[in-house]
Structure 1
Amino acid sequence: MVIRYDAAVKLLLVTKGHPFDRPAFFALFDALPDVAWTHVEHPAAPWLMAPERLRAFDLLVFYDMPGLLFRPATPPDRIDPPDAMKAGMEALLAEGKPLLFLHHALAGWPAWDRWAEIIGGRFHYTPDPARGIIDSGYRHDVTHRVRVVADHPVTDGLDDGFTITDELYLTRINEADKLPLLRSGHRFEAENFHSADLAVRGRMHANDGWHHPPGSDLIAWAKRAGNSPVVYIQCGDGPSAYGNPGYRRLLSNAVAWLTGPDAGPWARNFTGMPAGKPG
């Protein structure tokens, strides 16, 4: 494969911690015009998270799920990221490095609350009653309608939305600090999802005895973290999503906006949505 030293945009793709179709996923980024990507996996990735090591990259794309040590039929151990990564990420945010988080990245680094603050939410594999946390829900192969709720460069060309077959998550999302971009027409209620805690205990696709309040239908947003523009897109579990024209347009738009001239100033001035403004 040719090394695109001359590409206008250079991405660092971070993966591992969750299975995925590697050829199909990387083909998404091969298809982006004038974009070169480099891939790094855990456990090496955290040691790169510092401004001086990432000068050559215009955008960091996280399709990873670190910080969870899974064991058969028991809740996973939660692993803290290295202190060097924590400090490096804060330096990257102060510098304004653009960040794109995809799908299962929402579950990463569960022992580090700051990571959820950066992304804008958290998928919980296990409950934590002392903190009022309920394990999240998941549902594979849901065919649902994605609705555009913002006139924004990330949603450009998607018109009123698209239909996709993909995995969805049931979790709580605080919408006050983010710009809603896409919502799903699926009903985000416990009866339509399976318990993540039951799954890690060996009972996949089960929800009997599990209770979760209705969750947010927000599946893509833009926000700021420090001085960095951040986009999260829940779509993207596997090939059925990777090949979807709407998802491909969405991903291409997100990369273009985050690496363009407008995202940085937007992030530095964004203070959240006005109270009561619908999205």
Structure 2
Amino acid sequence: MGIINYQPELSALVATKGHPYPKDAFSECLDSLAGITCTVVEQPASQKFLDPALAAPYDVLVFYDMPGIDFSEQPPTATRPPKRLQENMSRLLEAGKGMVFLHHALAAWPMWPEFGEIIGGRFFYSPQDCRGRPVLDSGYRHEVTHDISLASPDHPVTQGLPENFQLTDELYLCEIFDDSVHPLLTSNYSFIRENFYSAHHAVTGKMYCNEGWYPTEGSSLVGWTRHHKNSRIVYLQPGDGAETLGDVHYRLLLANAIRWAANNA
């Protein structure tokens, strides 16, 4: 009799809301992840599950949300996370709770510097200080068809993926902490000013505009891992639109990321 490679069912808590997204396509994507049960909780209720006692039943936390920015005002205002939330997050990281951050989660909690260190980068809607230096607001570009290459083809998160594949999705020109992350995915798109629009212009009534906005050239990294305290962290920049959420390569990538972050890869 052959040896059966059994992988136990994983339980993931998925935080959403704070940014528009295709709900049906996202739900279908989560439902397609074999061996992974996903419980979706919207902001702000999902913040309660950062309490280690409430997070205990879940093997991994997945963030597809964007707390810390109030879009009901124009321009949006940034808010600091409650002290208790920061303490709970620290306790989860000390305990080794795995975390996966998707797409717009990179923009969450702009007034919380440690959050950027946890995730490995920052997307800003307004000029900010980042790692002790002033930076401009970040850039965005919707529906970019680009080729993705595996920077680490032997990593568990990239297992089963072709060395090159194509996605059509939103890309960011933003702060990526290349010195603090392990690269997984790179894009062949040019991360230069001419190819992006200012996020600050977008939230102040001027969509698809980069007038007067002169950021430096950005990183081509669109996926990485890192360790923060005792936790495994994954960030995947793809995940904006229904086309990507339905893509077989993206779904495998997400499933691998969840398993690896849960120490189950």
Which amino acid is 1:141 matched to?
E
Question: What do residues 195-244 of structure 1 show as CA deviations (whole Å, max 9, x unaligned)?
Answer: 00100110011112211110000000000111000000000001011112
Q: Equivalent residues in 2 for 1:85-124 (5 A)?
A: 85-124=85-124
Partner of 1:63: 64
Give the whole-Å Cα distance in 2 for the aligned partners of 1:99 and 1:128: 25
Q: Secondary structure at the match of 1:33?
A: coil
Alpha-carbon shift at residue 158 of structure 1 (Å): 1.4
Give the whole-Å Cα distance in 2 for the aligned partners of 1:21 and 1:192: 24
Structure 2 portions without partners, runs of 5+:
1-7
Give the whole-Å Cα distance in 2 for the aligned partners of 1:50 and 1:63: 18
Q: Secondary structure at the match of 1:146?
A: strand
Partner of 1:78: 78
Alpha-carbon shift at residue 137 of structure 1 (Å): 0.3
Between 1:167-176 and 1:100-109, the stretch displaced more is: 167-176
Alpha-carbon shift at residue 69 of structure 1 (Å): 0.8
**How many residues align structurally?**
255
Alpha-carbon shift at residue 103 of structure 1 (Å): 0.1
Give the whole-Å Cα distance in 1 for the aligned partners of 2:71 and 2:214: 23
1:242 to 242, 245, 253: 245
Which TM-score applies when normalising by structure 2? 0.93
Partner of 1:267: none
Give the whole-Å Cα distance in 2 for the aligned partners of 1:11 and 1:128: 32
Alpha-carbon shift at residue 146 of structure 1 (Å): 0.4
**Is 1:47–1:84's contact at 8 Å kept on the other side of the alignment?**
no
Partner of 2:3: none
Q: Secondary structure at the match of 2:53?
A: helix
**Is 2:97–2:262's contact at 8 Å kept on the other side of the alignment?**
no
Q: Secondary structure at the match of 1:18?
A: coil
**Is 1:139–1:192's contact at 8 Å kept on the other side of the alignment?**
yes
Q: Secondary structure at the match of 1:75?
A: coil
Percent identical among aligned pairs is 45
Give the whole-Å Cα distance in 2 for the aligned partners of 1:8 and 1:243: 22
Partner of 1:135: 137
Structure 1 residues 258, 128: CA separation in 2 closer, same or farther (over 3 Å shift)?
closer
**Is 2:62–2:102's contact at 8 Å kept on the other side of the alignment?**
yes
Q: Which runs of 4+ in 1 moved over 4 A?
A: none
Alpha-carbon shift at residue 131 of structure 1 (Å): 4.4
Partner of 1:156: 159
Which amino acid is 2:14 matched to?
L
Which amino acid is 1:235 matched to?
P
Q: Secondary structure at the match of 1:166?
A: strand
Give the whole-Å Cα distance in 1 for the aligned partners of 2:38 and 2:252: 18
Give the whole-Å Cα distance in 2 for the aligned partners of 1:180 and 1:54: 28
Give the whole-Å Cα distance in 2 for the aligned partners of 1:217 and 1:52: 38
Q: Secondary structure at the match of 2:176?
A: coil
**Is 2:223–2:235's contact at 8 Å kept on the other side of the alignment?**
yes
Partner of 1:229: 232
Q: Equivalent residues in 2 for 1:1-279 (5 A)?
A: 8-71=9-72, 74-128=74-128, 131-150=133-152, 151-261=154-264
Q: Secondary structure at the match of 2:75?
A: strand
Question: What do residues 152-204 of structure 1 show as CA deviations (whole Å, max 9, x unaligned)?
Answer: 01111112121000000001212111110000000000000000010011001
Alpha-carbon shift at residue 258 of structure 1 (Å): 1.9
Which TM-score applies when normalising by structure 1? 0.88
**Is 1:14–1:64's contact at 8 Å kept on the other side of the alignment?**
yes
Question: What do residues 69-88 of structure 1 show as CA deviations (whole Å, max 9, x unaligned)?
Answer: 1246x331111112111000
Partner of 1:270: none
Q: How much is the aligned-residue C-alpha RMSD, in angstroms?
A: 1.5
